[in-house]
Amino acid sequence: MSRTGILRLAAVLATLLSLLLAGCGEDDPVATEEPISVDVFFDFTVGGQPLVLNSLTYDNPAGRKYSVKVLRFVLTDIRLHSEQGNNVKLKDLHYFNIADPSSQTIHFDGGVPHADWNRVTFTFGLDETRNVRDKYISMTKFHTEMAWPTGLGPNLGYHYMQLEGNYEQTPGGATAGYTTHTGARQLDGTNPMFPGIVDATPHHHHFSVDLPVTPTHIHEGGSGEVTLHVELNGWYTDHAPADGNDTQYDFTDYPAMIMGNLEAQDKLMSNGPFCFSASMEAQGGHH
Amino acid sequence: MTNRRLMIWACAMLVIASCTGGDDGVTPPVESECPPATPLVIDLPANFPELPNPKDNPLTVEGVALGRRLFYDPILSGDSSQACAQCHIQQNAFGDTRRFSEGIHGVFGSRHAPTIVNPAWVSEMFWDGRAAGLEGQAREPVPNPIEMDLPWPDAIARLENHAEYPGLFCAAFGDSRISQDRVVKAIAQFERTFISANSKYDRVRRGEDVFTPVEQMGYDIFRTERGDCFHCHDELFFATSTFHNTGLDSIVADDGRYDVTGDPADIGKFKSATLRNIEVSSPYMHDGRFATLEEVIAHYNMGFHDGDDVDPLIRARLTRPPMRPGEIDTLIVFLQTLTDPDFLFNPDLSNPFLAPVATPVTNGR
Domains of chain B and CATH, by start: 61-195 (1.10.760.10), 200-342 (1.10.760.10)
Of the residues A179, A180, A251, A259, the best mutation for testing chain B's interface (the one with the most B CB atoms within 10 Å of its CB) is A179
A195: buried, middle or exposed (CB in 10 Å: 19+, 13-18, 0-12)? exposed
Looking at residue B191, its pLDDT comes to: 98
Residues of B in contact with A13 (CB under 8 A): 7, 11
Angle between helices A3-22 and B3-18 (to 10 degrees): 10
Looking at residue A5, its pLDDT comes to: 53
Q: Do B315 and A166 touch (CB under 8 A)?
A: yes
pLDDT > 90 in chain B, percent: 85
In one-letter notation, the amino acid at residue B106 is G
Looking at residue B8, its pLDDT comes to: 39
Q: Do A56 and B12 touch (CB under 8 A)?
A: no
What is A224-270 written as a DSSP string?
EEEEEEEEGGGGGS----TT-------TTTS-S--TT-HHHHHHHHH
Of the residues B4, B202, B258, B319, the best mutation for testing chain A's interface (the one with the most A CB atoms within 10 Å of its CB) is B319
Whether the pLDDT of residue B9 is over 60: the answer is no
Nearest-CA distance from A23 to chain B in Å? Answer: 8
Q: Do A147 and B230 touch (CB under 8 A)?
A: yes
Looking at residue A17, its pLDDT comes to: 41
Segment B154-186, tens digit of pLDDT: 999 999 999 999 999 999 999 999 999 999 999
Nearest-CA distance from A148 to chain B in Å? Answer: 8
Nearest-CA distance from A92 to chain B in Å? Answer: 20
**Cα B234 from Cα B236, distance rounded (Å):** 6
Whether the pLDDT of residue B244 is over 90: the answer is yes
pLDDT band at B12 (very low <50, low <70, confident <90, very high): very low
Segment B183-235, tens digit of pLDDT: 999 999 999 999 999 999 999 999 999 999 999 999 999 999 999 999 999 99
Looking at residue B241, its pLDDT comes to: 83
pLDDT band at B254 (very low <50, low <70, confident <90, very high): very high
**Cα B11 from Cα A12, distance rounded (Å):** 9
Whether the pLDDT of residue B136 is over 50: the answer is yes
Segment B302-334, tens digit of pLDDT: 999 999 999 999 999 888 899 999 999 999 999
What is the pTM assigned to this prediction? 0.87
Higher pLDDT among residues B236 and B3, named by residue: B236
Of B274, B121, B53, B46, residue with least CA distance to A140: B121
Average pLDDT, chain B: 90
Closest to A175 (Cβ–Cβ): which among B4, B240, B308? B308
Higher pLDDT among residues A264 and B16, named by residue: A264
Whole-angstrom CA distances from A7 to A1, A10, A12, B9, B239 are 10, 5, 9, 17, 74
pLDDT band at B33 (very low <50, low <70, confident <90, very high): confident
Looking at residue B308, its pLDDT comes to: 95
Nearest-CA distance from A272 to chain B in Å? Answer: 22
Q: How far is CA B260 from the centre of its chain?
A: 20
CB B202 within 8 A of CB B209: no
Does the complex come out with an ipTM higher than 0.90?
no
Bridge partners, residue A182, by sequence:
A161
Q: Do A5 and B47 touch (CB under 8 A)?
A: no
Segment B36-67, tens digit of pLDDT: 999 999 999 988 999 999 999 999 999 999 99
The SS3 of residue B74 is helix
Chain A, nearest residue to B230 by Cα: A149
pLDDT along chain A (287 residues), means of 10: 51 44 36 76 97 97 97 98 93 97 94 88 98 95 96 95 97 96 95 93 96 90 92 95 90 93 96 97 77
Alpha helices in chain B, H assignment, sequence order = 3-18, 61-72, 133-138, 152-160, 165-173, 180-192, 200-205, 213-222, 258-261, 293-298, 312-315, 325-336, 341-344
Looking at residue B362, its pLDDT comes to: 47
Q: Where are the domains of chain A?
A: 35-283
Average pLDDT estimate for B84-103: 96
- As a whole number of angstroms, the longest Cα–Cα distance in chain A is 105
Higher pLDDT among residues B340 and A242, named by residue: B340
pLDDT band at B293 (very low <50, low <70, confident <90, very high): very high
Residues of B in contact with A176 (CB under 8 A): 315, 318-319
CB-based contact, A192 to chain B, within 8 Å: yes
Q: Do B4 and A5 touch (CB under 8 A)?
A: yes
Q: What is the CA radius of gyration of chain B?
A: 25
